[in-house]
Structure 1
């Protein structure tokens, strides 16, 4: 049993803690943010919140009606299915891994701390999960300049969560991976749901 616990600790040390770099990067980013920039970080953090999902869904439905293309028609379904699965897995992972937030470990060393986090645990970042899912859904809807803006927006959201002391960089990276993978993996489900909806509308 002790050997197993030691192996798990070693695994976490390199995969999550990055050999100590995870905490060091968090503290460096957090301490390097000025009072002016922390306002920007709070703004980006608010924009990346999954509480904005209903508004994003309405925007995608509106874009579908205006654009009338196959990617635009599929986007609301990809968003609904992908975000639902991603957030369910994120909440499950938070409870399963129970990783503490930076403020629980480094409160005395941090310059900025988020007032009231959305959840008790940090891994993965729910904001990063949601943001990656949005980026994956919007990716087919625009050209490369638009896609570069999406990547910059996602990077700003990730930076904001670390700058505010809400997450370690590893939480954000894991969140990005989870959100993007869930949207890609559920593409077939979303397409099937769209076809079923189209058939139902045609039969009315």
Structure 2
């Protein structure tokens, strides 16, 4: 009963977050279409204007690779294998694939809809095609967010849980920062990517938690009948 109650609260919080993130995303796109976010981008870009040397740029290029398509795809395959060999949780694997794969399709669709040009084109840092929203931001949030969800659900140590949340939060922030620093995206691209990724992530987590509740209810009913 405690697990079911926790899952229901998680569902309610998830629905609220999806609503907030979706509203925020469309607020940004409305401002983008009306050129109202230019001042925001300009201020952030001025603060983050690359003034570092070779080492700092190389460091940012390393960070940005942690959110690249090839890296996230490789790590997704590894995570799926670990989940399968560990708990054989077919539902977690399925929604992990749906979240990551669906996010990839969604980002392509959104880029095609808004067709915002990049600050600069550089194939070496995966900065080609349209800019809005950030694929690195969206893909990273979905992958690392779902990975965090799985870890939190299977690890009992509070220290490990808090460490995971903090480290993932810092990593996501750095990946977004690297995209702006390297001139691949405007700050608003990254924020919009995070919001779109959060919506996609939460929808999949909500669906997975709902299936868990249904499964628990069925098992409870069978136990009572026996």
TM-score normalised by the chain length of structure 2: 0.66
Distance change in 2, residues 1:64/1:160 (3 Å)? same
**Is the counterpart of residue 124 in structure 1 residue 133 in structure 2?**
yes
Residue 108 (structure 1) aligns with: none
Cα deviation for residue 32 of structure 1 reads 3.3
Distance change in 2, residues 1:119/1:21 (3 Å)? same
Cα deviation for residue 161 of structure 1 reads 0.5
Residue 111 (structure 2) aligns with: 94
Residue 163 of structure 1: which of 181, 184, 200 is its match? 181
**Is the counterpart of residue 52 in structure 1 residue 61 in structure 2?**
no
Distance change in 2, residues 1:52/1:124 (3 Å)? same
Cα deviation for residue 190 of structure 1 reads 5.4
CA distance in 2, matches of 1:136, 1:162: 21
Distance change in 2, residues 1:80/1:191 (3 Å)? farther
Residue 144 (structure 1) aligns with: 162
Distance change in 2, residues 1:67/1:163 (3 Å)? same
CA distance in 2, matches of 1:85, 1:92: 11
Structure 1 gaps, min length 5: 1-7, 105-112, 195-204
CA distance in 2, matches of 1:39, 1:156: 14
Residue 4 (structure 1) aligns with: none
Residue 102 of structure 2: which of 65, 76, 85 is its match? 85
CA distance in 2, matches of 1:135, 1:166: 21
TM-score normalised by the chain length of structure 1: 0.72
CA distance in 2, matches of 1:38, 1:115: 13
Please list the CA deviations of residues 77-131 of structure 1 after superposition, one character each: whole Å capped at 9, or x if unmatched: 2321012222212111111111111127xxxxxxxx6656443210011111110
* Alignment RMSD (CA, Å): 2.9
Please list the CA deviations of residues 113-161 of structure 1 after superposition, one character each: whole Å capped at 9, or x if unmatched: 6656443210011111110001220122141111110001101100110
Aligned length: 174
CA distance in 1, matches of 2:165, 2:32: 38
The 10-residue stretch of structure 1 (167-176 or 88-97) with the greater mean CA deviation from structure 2: 88-97
**Is the counterpart of residue 178 in structure 1 residue 200 in structure 2?**
no
Distance change in 2, residues 1:121/1:64 (3 Å)? same
SS of 1:30 mapped into structure 2: coil
The 10-residue stretch of structure 1 (90-99 or 53-62) with the greater mean CA deviation from structure 2: 53-62
